[in-house]
Amino acid sequence: MPPSTRIRNTLATAVRVVLVAVTALALSLTTVPPAQAAGGGPSISKKHFGTLSNGKKIDVYTLRNSGGMRVKILTYGGILQSIEVPGSGGEFANVTLGFDNLSDYVKKSPYFGCITGRYANRVAKGRFTLDGKRYRLAANDGPNHLHGGVKGFDKRIWKAEPFKRHDSVGLVLTYTSPDGEEGYPGTLRTKVVYTLTGDNRIRMDYRATTSRPTIVNLTNHAYFNLRGEGNGRILGHELQINASRYTPVDKTLIPTGRIARLGGTPLDFREPTAIGERIDSRNQQMVRGGGYDHNYVLDSRGQGLEVAARVVEPDSGRVLEVITDQPGLQFYSGNFLDGTLRGTGGRSYPKRSGFALESQHFPDSPNRKNFPSTVLRPGDVYRTTTIYAFSTV
């Protein structure tokens, strides 16, 4: 074979090899899921979010899983600032209410997405007695104490340490509350671990220890709209709560001490029901809350983490499950939103444009011996876990 012929054959073979390789590469790119093609596995990054008036800098961490779900967490208040999840058609939306700037969180926020403590929810008249000693807390909600006081955990700067595992990413937040802060006894060392998993779950693990006997009740106060924040009201969301009892409240929204049956009341969500179906009932409890703002006594089987509530948004197909080991769940239907707040997407938040499902011990437990205890003593460890699990129908 002449040299020129061998050269032509060699070149032709090389061209075929290159074409096969290019074709294989093109085929592989067309079969890679969009989220993987865009960036691969889970990731976490940090950016500056804003600066407080005292010069303290606040960061925002962005957690992303391999499916494209993104969660943004602030070091101010441990706030879940954004939660982007897909709908049944694959379209992503931020489903939690929040702000795009630090100033609004400092001056205007009704506890959007924050860690609430030391005591989430209400304590009657801001008073409780522990081991024979009477303690006084701030009355920052009419006559009562709410969500840890004037400057609770929602307004504190948390130290953050990111971590990454093969299928998840997360953030370890720590804060030490000194003895006497907001009137609470004991130095409380608190750790909250946020983990974003590969199956679109936000796991929140709470831990705390104390130097003196104290009371503790920690939760997250995210407001949700599964249609997307700023995208109308939540009245069409279908809610199911696994509870057959609740704690009725007085006119200041403090539990009366009774644990009552839900059957026959507009507060009964044992079967999936649209949030707006009975929200304007003239039932006394509904009138007092201006809608739903009540603690549900969960029908727990005592087996650790259990599904407390499930919410389906029919239009988007998005589903939220709240899974917890806590005895109670506060359902709040956004009754005090009034349209004056503008969210991350630039749209206003009218009344009932977001709902909260706060896993917790019962409100005013320190003053109710028949409620599960919230007392933490030196040598013991406060431990609780709650999961926000997102999916589609």
Q: Is the peptide bond prior to 118 cis by the omega test (within 30 degrees of 0)?
A: yes
Residue 74's DSSP bridge partners are: 60
Pairing type for strands 133-136 and 127-130 reads: antiparallel
Dig out the tokens for 365 from the structure. 């437990």
Residue 358 annotated to the active site: yes
| CA pair distance 96, 295, nearest whole angstrom | 21
| CA pair distance 100, 159, nearest whole angstrom | 21
- CA dist 196 to 86, 199, 221, 243, 255, Å? 15, 8, 17, 27, 34
Q: What angle do CA 377, 383, 385 make, to 5 degrees?
A: 155
Task: Please state, as a whole number, how many other Cβ atoms lie within 10 Å of the Cβ of residue 282.
Answer: 7
- CA dist 376 to 148, 173, 214, 243, Å? 16, 20, 5, 26
Q: Could you say which of 84, 181, 321, 358 is catalytic? A: 358
| CA pair distance 164, 64, nearest whole angstrom | 11
DSSP annotation string for 28-47 = HHHHS-HHHHHH-S-EEEEE
Q: Could you say which of 147, 221, 294, 361 is catalytic? A: 221
Q: Which of 368, 334, 359 is nearest to 348 (CA)?
A: 334
Alpha helices in 100-183 (DSSP H): 102-107
| CA pair distance 343, 332, nearest whole angstrom | 19
b (16+ CB within 10 A) / e for 32-55: eeebeeeeeebebeeeebbeeeee
The catalytic residue positions are: 221, 358
